[in-house]
Amino acid sequence: MTEPSLELRARTLRAALSRRAPARRAPGFARPYAAVVAMLDVLLADLDEPEWTSAAAGEWDARDLVAHLYASDGLLADAIAGTTSSAQDVPARTAEAVGRRLPLRETRLEWRRQANALCDAMGEIDADRRLEVGGFRLCIGDHFTARAFETWVHTDDIGRATDRDVPPPLAEHVHPMADLGARGLPVALALIGRDHPDRVLRLILDGPGGGQWTVPLGTAATGDAPDAQVRMDVAEFCFLAGGRRDPETVRAETSGDPAVARDVLVAASFFSGP
């Protein structure tokens, strides 16, 4: 039997991704996560062995990235279930998962089984219940959005590393990720020592899933009139927040107080992972 050409494989994958692989059933707050998991799974199914083991993000290959996602998702699963393990932070859990070096197929299946189980467990969960996971105390809905966000970033990492075009998530799934990034800016600014407690930011994100946010950057900020404005593409903002864009060169239109705009672009990626 003749192997399909690389061009045919690429067209087939693009068609499969554009049709949106069936996602696990999940309540609204978890649907972005379920959908991006399904998209990554389609991509992984198309990888050959050399592609699995070529660098995708720094020194990590696709297997390492999937093991990292498994580790991070597992922390959320444990927190929801009220269980604990020997590794209770993301770096330790990731080192444990990456270090096992499971066979490629088993790495994918283990990650997908856990992701499916997370979605299946959400039927009776209160999305507003707050949990501490990996040092961050958020409502469960935001934790799932963060998991969708990171899964999208690493899907794109693997796609770029293997010369595959990965379409963005649906607009209704991009929006909550952008919203989480926007809401995190005041805390991120404070944590990097560039807080502007009396300033207001207007963030305008263009494209499917974008929107407009008026963000008080501290408790002393008053009124809706912005002191600075940042306008950019919503996907570019998400990849900036995911640590995949340089704040010095990312495409963004800024106006108003230049120090506020500059610091916002720098702080956006504070919560990003590897």
pLDDT tens-place string over residues 201-224? 999 999 999 999 999 998 888 877
Question: What is the model's pLDDT at position 1?
Answer: 42
Question: What is the model's pLDDT at position 134?
Answer: 84
Please state the rounded mean pLDDT for residues 122-142: 90
Token pair in block for residue 158: 């693997």
* Start-end of CATH 3.30.1050.10 domains in the chain: 177-267
Q: Which residue has tokens 């864009």?
A: 245
Integer Cα distance of 149 and 33 in angstroms? 8
Integer Cα distance of 125 and 139 in angstroms? 11
Token pair in block for residue 193: 């020592």
Question: What is the model's pLDDT at position 104?
Answer: 93
Q: Which residue has tokens 């990097």?
A: 192
Does residue 26 register a pLDDT over 60?
yes
Does residue 31 register a pLDDT over 60?
yes
Integer Cα distance of 15 and 257 in angstroms? 45
Residue 154: which of 53, 68, 268 has the closest Cα? 68
What's the mean per-residue pLDDT of the chain? 90
Question: What is the model's pLDDT at position 4?
Answer: 44
197: left (phi over 0), alpha (psi -120 to 50) or beta: alpha
Question: What is the model's pLDDT at position 208?
Answer: 97
Does residue 21 register a pLDDT over 70?
no
Question: What is the model's pLDDT at position 14?
Answer: 54
Question: What is the model's pLDDT at position 256?
Answer: 97
pLDDT tens-place string over residues 228-271? 999 999 999 999 999 999 999 999 999 999 999 999 999 999 99
User: Measured on CA atoms in the order 86, 142, 219, 197, is the torsion positive or negative?
Assistant: positive
CATH of the domain spanning 6-167: 1.20.120.450
* Start-end of CATH 1.20.120.450 domains in the chain: 6-167
pLDDT tens-place string over residues 66-121? 999 999 999 999 999 888 766 678 889 999 999 999 999 999 999 999 999 999 98
Architecture of domain 177-267: 2-Layer Sandwich (3.30)
**What strand order describes the sheet that includes 200-206?**
211-216, 200-206, 228-233, 253-256
Is 68 or 14 the better-scoring residue by pLDDT?
68
Question: What is the model's pLDDT at position 186?
Answer: 96
